[in-house]
Chains A and B, each alone.
Chain A
């Protein structure tokens, strides 16, 4: 697979490490009353869609960016790849 890195262009998927569902970015509030249940769901429950899936890929053999890649799990078509952490204003990349 080729992943269109927003900064580096098309890169082979071999350069990346796969993590999984991009909803892992939405870490629950540890102070909430239902925190235990929320963290349980966050840690263990994942959707496994046949179709578009937003997922996290780490460019380990590259610039060490975490990317959010939108991939069709049926075709491996990659519809989008974004930086998980957008560069701040004036921040050096």
Chain B
């Protein structure tokens, strides 16, 4: 319960102690702690097990690049695996658990992997699990799945809300360290719209983690004054806990803001996280630098971490990872850690510097020209072995080792487009280069400005330059006197000696040996190296490890690192939850739901609904006593043919076509002719794609010389409108024609059955003649109903019965449905849904999307003669090509079950006795139903030479469901082939 490693100072609020648990043990930290700093303060070094070898691991960094300290946070449905303890802000009541261990973190049975490292070397999957092939799915993969991986999912739905938003700014500044703050101050004072985003919950970057960067004013004083001023500027938006994770085209950035992850309970009004799409005119990348490790034998024990992290824990979080520490470095910065730790009261047991001319910054045991060659301590570091410059070996006891191999500019966002880093010898690291994302510049340590002085000036200068491009004049602010020690480094990547393993990529358990093996086996390109060894993959994406791997590869190839090159950084910079990408678009809000005006009425009737695209349509209307949907559908279909039924067809696409050339335009759109369609008449129309395949069908009604109303199928409404606009704007801009989609403007109902006219006559206003003579089959008219309500009436039939479709402005839709039910009571009017609609149209042989499935031509559909040869229309030329017109091609036919067995849609058709193989496949069933009229299963389908095979018995194979049936080929017009009913 005691914070044994806590020292004075730091940026903590010690008046606010926070209780938390790790692996069910209780601990206490303070507000301002991360989970990592609080665990270290409590003397907890062991935080996880490694991916492959299950090696004990502790925290390695103090930031988002953490490879080791991955834990699961929270419990129940909010359980979140693979969270980096270094960026998990502590809150009261936090529960955290370690991962990848069984039965416990200290005693992990899979640790046995560590004794067989040669089994798990680079490419072990490829080499080990090759044969027998059948073993892969059933034996190897389950074992690997269980053994590998880190945290486990809760398998419960995520209870949190996520949101998406859009932000606009003149200048986006990524990172609020010295460079970012100076840039924000410069641009903010100039009045530019600025967004300053930082992934940390405290702004300031290294200013919060270092001692004495600003020697005169002091880090804290300047930081708080600057943040206060920025907060006071209305044109500056400060975004903490906000990670810019991707740079996209044209100045668009992806930003994840974590609103409530640091709160003990979900906030009532806030989404957990917000995914922002940031439109920036200019952006400055001020993402700083991350330190890199040096590989040596057993360099992964808990207690070994980056030197800069060791000092960040001491300065910002007032934590000494251990009372006795050592440093292993190849540059001057490592010595700074020793100085800071001594100031906090730690005993520095050794500073081991690979350079013979190592400087000494304070009174500590310095071993120049020496290397750490091995370490000891099973669950945490106990001692290091140092090869001294005279060749002798020295054991030094210490509980923490800070390693510094130099600092890498954190340039990931500069590479998300075409930026390709180049090597800079001065700092021995890659720096941003190539074509950066449009409008982006890089400042501060991310751009090799490694001192605080350089970063402050670089940030301010970049802001002045960016604003100048936008025509805004900005002045340089007064910047504080800052540390400006030059970088002094001798590149050093790995200790050469030793038979053990030196880790390069901690997260993926990739060692120097693995890189050597990859090289030996020919995987020499950096991209191959990555895929073969998994170096640089997973949550840290090689932020720490990439360069180490490249350096070893360069050494083996005898080339400089600059020539070996580097792998490409891609978004996201750090992991983004899938929930944030989904935002509000989940469950029933996955996409908008479209409801027709009479949806409420249908609900009152107890309708069962079905999704049709974004629409909800009434599928059938069960009545009390009906126990099976088929019972309901049969009743509805029979009622239509016996008396009259009403079906909501509002969802059909409706397109208003107007203009002097409207008829010429439709002539081009439809393969059949429309020029001669009289006013007051409708016509069925078939649209082809330019490749000759049927695209959609529907009717076009002519209300005036220059006014048509076109209907499309529900599913293709959007696509057909787009196509028609393409034809109008791109192919025939000379035609005087205008289009508008009116799908949402009209509610439309099919009124079908022998009593349809009688029913409609009751609601149509006097003066409109809809008698068979006055309003014949395929007539259309604009009229009024119910005492002056405007309506459109079409005498068209999908069911094969005497039928009409009546349309009213949307706001009257619900009322019209109720009026039709009331007026139709004397005819026992029956509402019917999409199922009965389907039965009726199959019985009549009308095709829908099942038949116009993107593979069938007019000829296949039996409508080959409809394609007019007297005019040009889309698809005409190619509908005549070989392959679409051949005499033995498939034709639409009707199929009747011979023995009463179902004919499932999707079944394939074979000649009697033919082997059921693809070679003998003659066609397929596109639509099927039980016909209550014929009292047997029927279907529509396509079969080779169907037109010549009427009466033939064929076999229907459905290997998916294991079924086999026999069917007779008949005309697709099962009902009223002469069309007498619909003309009655």
Contact = CB atoms under 8 A, between A and B. Distances in A.
B730 A2 contact: no
Interface in A13-70: 13, 17, 19, 24-25, 27-28, 30-31, 35-36, 39-40, 42-44, 56, 58, 60, 64-66
Interface string B868-908: 00001000111011000000000000000000000000000
A42 B690 contact: yes
Interface of B: 248-252, 279, 418, 435, 438, 690-691, 718, 722, 725-726, 728-731, 733, 872, 876-878, 880-881
B880 A85 contact: no
A81 interface: no
Interface of A: 1-2, 12-13, 17, 19, 24-25, 27-28, 30-31, 35-36, 39-40, 42-44, 56, 58, 60, 64-66, 75-78, 83-86
Given A84-B729, A84-B730, 18 more contacts: A1-B248, A1-B249, A2-B249, A2-B251, A13-B249, A30-B877, A36-B880, A39-B878, A44-B691, A56-B730, A58-B725, A58-B726, A66-B730, A75-B435, A76-B249, A77-B438, A83-B729, A85-B733
Contacts of A28: 877
B877 A36 contact: yes
A40 B879 CA distance: 11
Contacts of B876: 30
A69 B726 CA distance: 15
Q: Which 5 A-B pairs have the closest CB atoms?
A: A85-B729, A85-B733, A2-B250, A66-B729, A1-B249
Contacts of A66: 725-726, 729-730
A74 B252 CA distance: 17
Contacts of A42: 690
A26 to B, nearest CB: 9
Contacts of B881: 36, 40
Nearest to B731: A27
A74 to B, nearest CB: 8
B872 A30 contact: yes
Contacts of B691: 43-44
B878 A43 contact: yes
Contacts, number: 66
Nearest to B438: A77
A78 B438 CA distance: 12
Contacts of A40: 878, 881
B718 to A, nearest CB: 8
A2 B728 CA distance: 25
A75 B418 contact: yes
Contacts of A64: 725
Nearest to B876: A30
Question: Which DSSP category, helix, strand, loop or mixed, fits chain A's interface?
Answer: mixed
Nearest to A27: B731
A53 B565 CA distance: 31
Contacts of B418: 75
A77 B249 CA distance: 8
A61 B945 CA distance: 45
15 contacts: A1-B252, A13-B249, A19-B726, A25-B730, A30-B872, A35-B877, A39-B877, A39-B878, A40-B881, A43-B690, A43-B691, A58-B726, A60-B718, A78-B250, A84-B729
Contacts of A58: 722, 725-726
Contacts of A1: 248-250, 252
A31 B872 CA distance: 8
Contacts of A83: 729
Nearest to B689: A43
A74 B730 CA distance: 26
Contacts of A44: 691
A14 to B, nearest CB: 9
A25 B732 CA distance: 9
A77 B610 CA distance: 44
Given A30-B872, A36-B881, A2 B252 contact: yes
Nearest to A92: B738
A85 B733 CA distance: 6
Contact of B722 (A17, A25, A30, A85): A17
Contacts of B729: 65-66, 83-85
Contacts of A65: 729
A93 to B, nearest CB: 11
Contacts of A85: 728-730, 733
Given A1-B250, A64-B725, A39 B690 contact: yes
B420 to A, nearest CB: 14
Nearest to B250: A2
Contacts of B690: 27, 39, 42-43
Nearest to A59: B725
Contacts of A78: 250
Nearest to B872: A30
B414 to A, nearest CB: 15
Contacts of A2: 249-252, 279
A3 to B, nearest CB: 9
A92 to B, nearest CB: 9
A80 B438 CA distance: 17
A28 B875 CA distance: 12
B875 to A, nearest CB: 9
B661 to A, nearest CB: 13
A32 to B, nearest CB: 10
A12 B279 CA distance: 10
Contacts of A27: 690, 731
A35 to B, nearest CB: 5
B581 to A, nearest CB: 14
Contact of A76 (B250, B718, B877): B250
A12 B277 CA distance: 11
B262 to A, nearest CB: 31
A20 to B, nearest CB: 11
A44 B692 CA distance: 12
Nearest to A44: B691
B107 to A, nearest CB: 52
Nearest to A2: B250
A36 B252 CA distance: 45
B78 to A, nearest CB: 31
Contacts of A19: 726
